[in-house]
Amino acid sequence: MNTTKSHATPEKIDSKKHETSNTDEYISVISPLSGKVFGEIKVTSEKALEETIAGSAEAQKEWAKIPLNRRAGFMMQFRELLHKNSDDLVEMIHHENGKTRDEARAGLLKGIESVEFAAALPQMISGSVQEVSRGVECKTLRSPLGVVAGITPFNFPAMIPLWMFPLALTLGNGFILKPSEKTPFTAVELSKLLEKTGFPPGLFSVIQGDKHVAGLLCDHPNISALAFVGSSPVAKTIYARASQQGKRVRCMGGAKNHLTIVPDADPEIAAANIVASVTGCAGQRCMAGSVLLAVGNVNHIIAKIYQMMSKIIPGRDIGPVISAEARERIFGFLERAHREGAELTLDGRKSPIEGNKEGFYVGPSIIDHAYPEHEAVTEEIFGPVLTIIRVHSLEEAIEIENRSIYGNAATIYTQTGGVAEYFIERVNAGMVGVNVGVPVPRDPFSFGGRGESRFGDGDITGESAVEFWSGIKKVTTKWEAGRYIDWMS
């Protein structure tokens, strides 16, 4: 790896926090840029996890007594440190995840928005109070839940942890983060920066490991709430397992996002936007455009999309996918597409590569004339692949979209407001875009899908997440001022 610019090298990251670990298990982390081992992490043992949770619970007792505005003050400092150290963080994300430096920076900046949201909490949240009968008041107080946890995926090593822990901590909780074992180092760097703010030791910890460690968090009685972001099958399992333990649980899953294009769409804007949505982060985004529903004759726009996608060079314009297995899985979809009656008009297996030939690169692909039941339409591919279905009407497009088991994002490209409104009203997705291929809501608007893209109620960021990471105490008071009048006068 090129370390010339980076101080955040894996040699400096050895999970020293867990030296009490009673296991010697390590997981090798492979950089998708080179296919070579980039570093290794020591898996957190059950004993170390017990100590970590106990330490966080102890620290949380004092933390909860600190007023909200002082807790938020740490997040202001954290924000500054994230900006100051952004080059190192970008370098780390680039190497462990493979995404381009620009993409790494964009994800980090989006994560910093969530830190800003947490820092602004004192200005945004307040309780409510009302005199419900003469001399009797009801009021609400927001209180922390205790020690809470987050389990995160590989595709946004900074942004998704930053969606979770700054807000949960600011609301007075302790926090245990388990990042993906494929991209574990960025989380460690984030924790070091938080520590530099003078943050209470032990309140926030990063633990390492795979599904076994994730399972321990689901079952642990002293974790009161758990947020998960990852694939749908795992989201479903974790939701069932952790809620059975009586925890508050919110799990975000995978996606299959449809982009609908109608004949009055602006050809230049739509084509560029669709290509960016499909190929950005090598298609490894839960918000990536994946199925294009082409209404009527939009051949001129599809031709532009083809032109632009065929010019994208892996290693120069897009990064690799996360692993050799992920690449093989994508190749499988391409292989079967033709056999199953669709047309592979752009084959990413044949793209020239400008990166390291050992990296896990896949070029952009287009599967055209697919039908709604085709696996490239129904399954999440998680690679730079656009599958096109030709339809006759907007109703048909909406009907196909709404058949998907997922419901993360849906976009329409049109220049007519009424058409957009018609679509927005009928489409079944948690996040809807109009001429925006990656319709990620910005804080304080919250992020979250529907169907198999989310298990549990509410969203993962914004105001909805404030509700998730805190509890409301309802207080009823009655004071009889007259009784104390002698003593006061």
Least CB distance from residue 457 to ligand NAD, whole Å?
Answer: 15
Least CB distance from residue 303 to ligand NAD, whole Å?
Answer: 29
Residue ranges in 331-370 that form contacts with ligand NAD under rule CB under 6 A:
none
User: What's at 185, amino acid-wise?
Assistant: F
Question: Could you write out the DSSP letters of every residue in 104-165?
Answer: HHHHHHHHHHHHHHHHTHHHH----EEEEETTEEEEEEEE--SEEEEE--SS-TTHHHHHHH
Per CB under 6 A, 449 contacts ligand NAD = yes
Q: Out of 218, 251, 281, 286, which one is annotated catalytic?
A: 286
Instruction: Give the residue from 140, 142, 138 showing the smallest Cα distance to 477.
Output: 138
d(CA 258, CA 230): 19
Q: Which residue stretch of 128-136, 250-258, 364-372, 477-485 sits at the interface with ligand NAD (rule: CB under 6 A)?
A: 250-258
Per CB under 6 A, 210 contacts ligand NAD = yes
Instruction: Give the residue from 119, 125, 126 showing the smallest Cα distance to 170.
Output: 119
Q: Which residue stretch of 85-93, 200-208, 231-239, 476-484 sits at the interface with ligand NAD (rule: CB under 6 A)?
A: 231-239
Q: Which of 89, 93, 255, 278 binds ligand NAD (CB under 6 A)?
A: 255
Residue ranges in 416-445 that form contacts with ligand NAD under rule CB under 6 A:
none
Least CB distance from residue 175 to ligand NAD, whole Å?
Answer: 15
Q: Which residue stretch of 92-100, 191-199, 206-214, 289-297 sits at the interface with ligand NAD (rule: CB under 6 A)?
A: 206-214
How many other CB atoms sit within 10 Å of the CB of residue 134? 6
Q: Which of 59, 75, 151, 167 binds ligand NAD (CB under 6 A)?
A: 151
**Residues 209, 181 contacting (CB under 8 angstroms):** yes
Residue with tokens 């998704």: 160
Do you know the residue count of the chain? 489
Question: Encoding tokens for residue 183?
Answer: 């991209």
Q: Which residue stretch of 10-18, 133-141, 252-260, 462-470 sits at the interface with ligand NAD (rule: CB under 6 A)?
A: 252-260
Q: Which residue stretch of 50-58, 228-236, 265-273, 355-363 sits at the interface with ligand NAD (rule: CB under 6 A)?
A: 228-236
Per CB under 6 A, 252 contacts ligand NAD = yes
d(CA 436, CA 274): 8
Per CB under 6 A, 229 contacts ligand NAD = yes
Query: Using CB under 6 A as the criterion, what x/- string covers residues 163-202 for binding ligand NAD?
Result: ---------------x-xx---------------------
Closest CB to ligand NAD among residues 323, 435: 323
Closest CB to ligand NAD among residues 113, 266: 113
Residue ranges in 8-67 that form contacts with ligand NAD under rule CB under 6 A:
none
**In a 10 Å sphere around its CB, with 0-12 CB exposed, 13-18 middle and 19+ buried, how is residue 473 labelled?**
exposed
d(CA 126, CA 458): 20
Helices 267-279 & 299-310 angle (0-180, nearest 10): 50
Q: Which residue stretch of 122-130, 208-216, 261-269, 350-358 sits at the interface with ligand NAD (rule: CB under 6 A)?
A: 208-216
Reduced 3-state DSSP string for 82-93: HHHCHHHHHHHH
Residue ranges in 374-403 that form contacts with ligand NAD under rule CB under 6 A:
380, 382
Q: Which of 10, 254, 348, 437 binds ligand NAD (CB under 6 A)?
A: 254
Q: Return all residues near 387 (Cβ < 8 A) that are at least 6 apart.
A: 290, 291, 292, 337, 342, 366, 367, 370, 374, 376, 377
Q: Return all residues near 36 (Cβ < 8 A) that are at least 6 apart.
A: 30, 358
Is 286 marked active-site? yes
Q: What is the size of the binding site for ligand NAD (CB under 6 A)?
A: 29
Q: Which of 262, 286, 330, 337 binds ligand NAD (CB under 6 A)?
A: 286
Instruction: Give the residue from 128, 124, 85, 126 showing the smallest Cα distance to 108.
Output: 85
Reduced 3-state DSSP string for 336-368: HHHHCCCEEEECHHHCCCCCCCCCCCCCCEEEE
Looking at beta carbons, which residue is closest to ligand NAD?
230
> What is the binding site for ligand NAD (CB under 6 A)?
151-155, 178, 180-181, 210-211, 214-215, 229-231, 234, 237-238, 252-255, 286, 380, 382, 408, 449, 453, 460
The residues assigned a catalytic role are 286
